[in-house]
Amino acid sequence: MSLPRVSILLPCFNARPFLEERINSILAQTFSDWEAIVLDSYSTDGSWEFFKSIADQDSRFRLHQVPREGPYAALNRGIKLATGEFLNIATCDDSMRPDFLDTLLEAFAICPEAGAAACDLLLINRDGNHLTKEDLVDYLPAESIKDLLALDVVRSYPIRRNINYRPPPHDCLLHFSTKSVYFSLTQLLIRTSLARKTEPFDTTIGSIADLGWLVRLTNLAGTVHVPKKLTMWRFHGDQLSVHRDETRLLSIKTIFERVLPEIRQRHSGLLTSNDCAALLLPSKAFLAGPFKKLWVWFEGGVRVVWMLSERPGMTLRAIRRGPFPFRNLRRFLVSTIVQSLGLTPKKLSVNQES
């Protein structure tokens, strides 16, 4: 038998209430040349039995029970098991539109140099309705709610409303503002070869492992972005990623410190020492108390002046066109660096041949 074009990874632990909708969204895909690799961590709520009933009817489902070591350990196993050219991580409490695979595969055909394809997503609540601030008020502070609801669109500087290619390390550097460029792994279709080339998920740092993996992946390859909401991310209050965790904030800073030498080695001559120091300031500001935060702001001003001396014309244009004022230090610094380096998303024509 020929190998499938797409491998869909389904990490699961006690997700039975959401499985029917998730599996139905896979079975409804207009693109049918896929395999679904179930990675169940010995669920006790009937999830495994449900998967077995599906696999009995559809041979494209491959079932694996894996040690109960967390979702990222399961994904590391799944990446090794995948046989498809492309890979999608289908978190079991989320869903996708029937044209998700078809649309992102078409994006790869338009932009074959891309290592990953990303779409926007629809944020939904437990019942599948559009997510609102009323759904979140008992879980998150007002500022966090505003940030979360704005992440339904893949971030870029400037924002692109058409299909676009984001050359490396555009998306990689955007992560240094301490906010992920993508909201969820489920909105990505990734070349399996790239997933294997990227360092495995770190299983010791909790939910921030997504960020660490994506920073490294987007350092290696560019992303084609389709600005359509083709996937659904469900908020049900149990996700670790929506709860503040001070140890997670420290892990973010550690991730960035470790990956910067990799970026400089991969993209020789792109970043100066001043750029690297400036890219670390947003995570420092995130962790700093009131007094130290003032010092970080002062250092940010010094770094911007230094950037003006190194790339005067491009830095000045980036500041003028930038969407953020200096008081929003985390986003101002990253957007200014990315734009001054000329790493802006490139608009693609849908008629462009592969």
Smallest CA-to-CA distance from 259 within 169, 334, 184 is with 169
CA distance 290 to 297: 11
The residues near 246 (Cβ < 8 Å, ≥ 6 apart) are: none
The domain limits of the chain are: 6-246, 271-342
- pLDDT at position 330, please? 82
Q: Which helix (H) or strand (E) holds 80?
A: helix 71-81
Residue matched to tokens 């792109």 = 270
Q: Which helix (H) or strand (E) holds 19?
A: helix 16-27
Phi-psi group of 128: left, alpha or beta (phi > 0 → left; psi -120 to 50 → alpha; rest → beta): left
> How many C-beta atoms surround the C-beta of residue 150 within 10 A?
12
pLDDT (tens digit, 9 = 90+) per residue, 26-73? Answer: 999 999 999 999 999 999 999 999 999 999 999 999 999 999 999 999
Average pLDDT for 95-104: 98
pLDDT (tens digit, 9 = 90+) per residue, 156-199? Answer: 877 778 999 999 999 999 999 988 899 999 999 999 999 999 99
Rg for the chain (alpha carbons), in Å? 21
User: Residue 35 is encoded by which pair of tokens?
Assistant: 């395999």
- pLDDT at position 151, please? 79
User: pTM for this one?
Assistant: 0.92
Smallest CA-to-CA distance from 9 within 74, 66, 70, 89 is with 89
Contact status, residue 15 vs residue 43, Cβ threshold 8 Å: yes
CA distance 36 to 182: 23
Contact status, residue 173 vs residue 338, Cβ threshold 8 Å: yes
- pLDDT at position 237, please? 65
Cα–Cα distances in Å, from 142 out to 133, 154, 324?
8, 21, 20
- pLDDT at position 116, please? 98
- CA angle 296-302-305, nearest 5°? 145
CA distance 211 to 174: 11
Cα torsion through 133, 137, 143, 144, rounded to 10: -90
Residue 347 DSSP SS3: strand
Cα torsion 16, 21, 27, 30: sign: negative
Smallest CA-to-CA distance from 195 within 117, 97, 255 is with 117
Architecture per CATH, domain 6-246, reads as: Alpha-Beta Complex (3.90)
pLDDT (tens digit, 9 = 90+) per residue, 215-259? Answer: 999 999 999 999 999 999 998 766 555 555 556 778 888 999 999
**Quick one: pLDDT band at residue 138, thresholds 50, 70, 90?**
confident
The residues near 78 (Cβ < 8 Å, ≥ 6 apart) are: 7, 9, 11, 37, 39, 64, 89
8 — phi, psi (to 5°)? Answer: -105, 120
**Quick one: pLDDT band at residue 117, thresholds 50, 70, 90?**
very high
- pLDDT at position 354, please? 36
* Percent over 70 (pLDDT), the chain: 95
- pLDDT at position 245, please? 54
- CA angle 289-294-299, nearest 5°? 120
CA distance 253 to 234: 28
Smallest CA-to-CA distance from 87 within 166, 185, 212 is with 185
202 — phi, psi (to 5°)? Answer: -75, 120
